[in-house]
Amino acid sequence: MIFGIGIDQATVSRVKEAVRKRGPKLIDYLFTEKEKKYCESKKDPWPHYAARFAVKESFIKAWGKTVSPLEIEVDVNKNGRPSLTLKGKILKQTEEGDIKKLHLSLSHEGDSAVAVVVLES
């Protein structure tokens, strides 16, 4: 059964500008070490950061409650398929909330990144 669905769109230039204004601490606040390493390994990291930001927002919409962005981690397997890993309080809350599966789709093109998260109970 579907517990929740979330979708979000992030503008690459807006994410980049927010980091320029607020400094690298914003990156540390929003993204895990693994996510930063992945994004920074790319020729242009900003579309990847924007997509991950959209994922975190999509998860919050699907869950229905605010969550620390560092408790939601986007990983990519060797075939390039993205997945979600939950950590800390949100992992415990989703287990107690009987969430059985997390589904994720993300994409970025030009100045836009989009993500969809489906939580299944």
Question: Do the Cβ atoms of 62 and 102 come closer than 8 Å?
Answer: no
The number of distinct structural domains making up the chain is 1
What CATH number has the domain bearing residue 77? 3.90.470.20
Q: Which pLDDT tens digit goes with each residue over 22-45?
A: 999 999 999 999 999 999 999 999
Q: Which pLDDT tens digit goes with each residue over 3-26?
A: 999 999 999 999 999 999 999 999
Domain carrying residue 15: 2-120
The pTM for the full model equals: 0.95
Helices (H) and strands (E) in the chain, counts: 5, 5
Question: Do the Cβ atoms of 83 and 28 come closer than 8 Å?
Answer: no
- pLDDT-derived band at 97, boundaries 50, 70, 90: confident
